[in-house]
């Protein structure tokens, strides 16, 4: 039986003692994992603390909303805590943890999309014949605002495309790690990344009025 670790009671987030931790090296990760499996519950707390910032970063880049990202990061930490016994070492621990966080984000975004579709169906069923309002006015940005346009464009493309850009271009993971997280071959990662970058560029150019970046 594995030792107890940090717990989250209903409606209360995980609390990890200590401040923000420095990034953990792979060697330190394995030392902490082994220490936890040997009975040191505090080792798991240190391990999770070392990933709090990175998990939040993945969630925020996927959701672009601080409150939602904070909630999803907590959910991901809980899932890591609950599933750490199943980690078998076939992939890097960081890859496994980021996969958990990314799956939380994609599941959340799918549920959001289903709710939006349900709301749209209800609005159409009202029978007033009016068009639904556009989600937001088309942004008109200048070159000085290209970075903001890129951020906005990232939130507009398909969630699966956004995920692969976040993992490759923001988390700096290699193709093998991304493939393990998304459950696809390396060749598929490369082709999806190409399409995702193309979609992102087209979205940015559209927002900039065809001027490009």
**pTM to 2 decimal places:** 0.70
**pLDDT at residue 9 is higher than 70:** no
Task: Let me know whether 109 and 157 are in one domain.
Answer: no
For 192-203, write each residue's pLDDT tens digit.
999 999 999 999
Task: Let me know whether 5 and 107 are in one domain.
Answer: yes
Of 44-58, 105-119, 135-149, which range is least confident? 135-149
**pLDDT at residue 35 is higher than 80:** yes
Task: Let me know whether 106 and 48 are in one domain.
Answer: yes
Q: How confident is the model at residue 11 (pLDDT cuts 50, 70, 90)?
A: very low
**pLDDT at residue 113 is higher than 70:** yes
Q: What is the DSSP string of 132-160?
A: PPPSSPPP---GGGHHHHHHHHHHHS-HH
Of 1-5, 90-94, 182-186, 196-200, which range is least confident? 1-5
In a domain? residue 124: no
In a domain? residue 130: no
In a domain? residue 73: yes
Domain span at residue 21 reads 1-113
Give yes or no for a contact between 56 and 20, defined as CB atoms under 8 angstroms apart. Answer: no
pLDDT higher for 3 or 186? 186
pLDDT (0 to 100) of residue 135: 41
Q: Which of 56, 66, 68 is nearest to 21 (CA)?
A: 56
Task: Let me know whether 94 and 187 are in one domain.
Answer: no
CATH code, 48: 1.10.1740.10
Task: Let me know whether 99 and 144 are in one domain.
Answer: no
Task: Let me know whether 146 and 185 are in one domain.
Answer: yes
In 3-state terms, what secondary structure has residue 109?
helix
Rg of the Cα atoms in the chain = 20
Determine what percent of the chain is predicted with pLDDT higher than 90: 48
Task: Let me know whether 101 and 204 are in one domain.
Answer: no
Task: State how many domains the chain has.
Answer: 2
For 154-201, write each residue's pLDDT tens digit.
889 999 999 999 999 989 899 999 999 999 999 999 999 999 999 999
pLDDT (0 to 100) of residue 148: 77
């Amino acid at each position: 039986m594995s030792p107890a670790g940090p717990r989250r009671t209903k409606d209360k987030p995980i609390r990890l003692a200590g401040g923000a931790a420095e990034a953990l090296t792979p060697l330190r990760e394995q030392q902490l994992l082994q220490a936890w499996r040997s009975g040191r519950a505090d080792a798991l707390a240190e391990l999770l603390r070392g990933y709090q910032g990175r998990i939040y970063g993945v969630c925020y880049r996927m959701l672009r909303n601080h409150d939602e990202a904070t909630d999803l990061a907590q959910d991901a930490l809980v899932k890591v805590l609950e599933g750490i016994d199943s980690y078998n070492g076939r992939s890097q621990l960081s890859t496994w943890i980021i996969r958990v966080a990314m799956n939380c984000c994609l599941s959340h975004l799918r549920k959001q999309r289903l709710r939006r579709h349900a709301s749209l169906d209800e609005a159409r069923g009202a029978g007033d014949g009016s068009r639904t309002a556009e989600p937001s006015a088309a942004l008109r940005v200048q070159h000085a605002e290209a970075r903001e346009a890129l951020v906005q464009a990232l939130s507009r493309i398909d969630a699966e495309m956004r995920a692969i850009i976040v993992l490759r271009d923001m988390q700096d993971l290699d193709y093998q790690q991304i493939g393990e997280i998304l459950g696809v071959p390396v060749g598929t990662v490369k082709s999806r990344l190409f399409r995702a970058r193309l979609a992102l560029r087209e979205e940015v150019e559209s927002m900039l009025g065809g001027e490009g970046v």
